[in-house]
Chains A and B, each alone.
Chain A
Amino acid sequence: MIQLEGVIKRFNNQVVLNDINTTFENGRTNLIIGRSGAGKTVLLKCIVGLLTPDEGRVLFDGRNILKFGKKENLMIRREMGMLFQNAALFDSMSVLENVMFPLDMFSSMTYNEKLKRARACLARVDMLDAQDKSPEELSGGMQKRTAIARAIALGPKYLFCDEPNSGLDPQTSLIIDELIHGITDEYQITTIVNTHDMNSVMGIGDHIIFLSDGKLEWQGNKDNILDAKSKSLNDFLFSSDLLRKVKERAMMSQGI
């Protein structure tokens, strides 16, 4: 479980995150949504420790990571897995070497054990056939799947995904979403996904927080998001023609 308490982040006196309070539960896919520039990436970076909040607390199972020393910081990072927007695979390594990398760095396994674990992770994301390929030979979806395999190699307690569907077609996005959701459920980890993909919101949003201008405007889940009263959330949700027309038709059929 990850808790945010009064998180504030400023850049040059401009408040980018304003008093964020929320809880991300274990075994649930937590989504951070909002327009571009709303503060989603900054919030995710504050949670994973790439940025330090100016005020507030970030608690990982009750442990405030902002108070961690160097050694504790190193230990908590081994409990984290991260999927970046562009996968961020190491381009000097093959797919298998990418997945083995965290094991090489941090585990005391033998080579055969590491190989077995890496292959199991690749099999989980259906990438075993491409284990000898280099990242540039992979499609966007395959790169994301490899990045997921690398993120889960060490058996993390927390999984972070920064816009995992960016640049992917809707069908591939669905596969990535299902993979993230499935892994979260299977390993009972705390997953936080930063997205503005409405398919993800409606598909895997066990817990959703909506950011607007750095403020937490609304939180709920995929079942009650369409009934939300927040104007900025509704503007965000129904910004596409498709969803707006679906909503209009639904309202017409209900005689509203």
Chain B
Amino acid sequence: MNCNLKIKMIFLKSISTFGSYLILMKRVLARPQRWKMFLRQFLRDIYQLGINSIPIVLLISLFIGAVICIQMKLNIENAWMPKFVVGYATREILLLEFSSSIMCLILAGKVGSNITSEIGTMRVTQQIDALEIMGVNSANFLILPKISALVCMIPILVIFSIASGILGAYAIGYITQIMTAEDLTTGLQYEFKQWYIWCSIIKSLFFAFIISSVAAFYGYRVEGGSIEVGKASTDSVVSCSVLILFADIVLTQLLMQ
């Protein structure tokens, strides 16, 4: 096939997919038909998407915080460099990128695939058709609580990730004696800007919306059987990851200027 034609077809398909996404979002972002039912779903999703993600967030952040601390120590240690720089660099990496962007990339895998497979399975087992027949706005009923739950929980996960990462840095410093707790504390407090925490939280809110809405979109439009549900899960994780990376560039440029 002609290369230009191929590019044109990919472009048109992307536009069509984006259009379908917008149409779905118009149905999703409507007033819930029954607030009581919305709240019930919302609390279930808070637990399923947010609370259930806390252990993995704490675990990964603890280890990555420790690894960043070791890497900083090994790579920037110099007679001319103050010892607290390791703590300073560890803090900046955790605050500015890891706990928001990288953590959300990890959550795109865990939470995104969970959302896609749940909604996709509901689609192929006709549970969504059953909702539609009853007169329920299935997109609003199923997707809005997930978006709301993840957007509410993600700042908490980011804070937990930052705290756990710093704890990991202290732990590795103590266990391996590569640096003292005083040097690390000095570095962590050096020229601290509160805005960086807000940047991290603001970015994560956008990422949470991307993860939940894009994953739900892929699940909602599944056609076929279990193979298609699996494929949709993979596609949704890939799309979420790419969109998070792209949004990260835009948001970092806007927020850090």
Mark A residues whose CB is within 8 Å of B. 48, 50, 73-75, 77-78, 80, 82, 84-86, 88-92, 101-102, 104-106, 160
Chain B nearest CB, measured from A33 CB (Å): 21
Say yes or no: B133 contacts A105, CB within 8 Å.
no
Say yes or no: B133 contacts A77, CB within 8 Å.
yes
* Nearest A residue to B124, CB-CB: A86
Q: Which of B33, B34, B133, B136 has a CB less than 8 Å from the CB of A50?
A: B133
Say yes or no: B127 contacts A105, CB within 8 Å.
no
Say yes or no: B134 contacts A102, CB within 8 Å.
yes
Say yes or no: B34 contacts A104, CB within 8 Å.
yes
Say yes or no: A88 contacts B135, CB within 8 Å.
no
0/1 interface trace, chain B 130-146, chain A, CB 8 Å (1 if under):
10111110000000000
B127 to chain A: which residues have CB within 8 Å?
A: 88-91
Task: Tell me if B189 is interfacial: C-beta within 8 Å of chain A.
Answer: no
A73 to chain B: which residues have CB within 8 Å?
A: 135
A80 to chain B: which residues have CB within 8 Å?
A: 133-134
A-B contact count (CB 8 A): 47
Say yes or no: A77 contacts B135, CB within 8 Å.
yes
Say yes or no: A77 contacts B37, CB within 8 Å.
no
B33 to chain A: which residues have CB within 8 Å?
A: 105
A106 to chain B: which residues have CB within 8 Å?
A: 134-135
A91 to chain B: which residues have CB within 8 Å?
A: 125, 127
* A2 CA / B43 CA spacing, docked (Å): 41
Q: Which of A78, A85, A104 has a CB less than 8 Å from the CB of B135?
A: A78
* A88 CA / B129 CA spacing, docked (Å): 8
Task: Tell me if B44 is interfacial: C-beta within 8 Å of chain A.
Answer: yes
* Nearest B residue to A150, CB-CB: B130
B125 to chain A: which residues have CB within 8 Å?
A: 86, 88, 91
A84 and B129 in contact (CB under 8 A), knowing A92-B44, A105-B34? yes
Counting chain A CB atoms within 10 Å of each CB, the highest count among B125, B130, B132, B136 belongs to B130
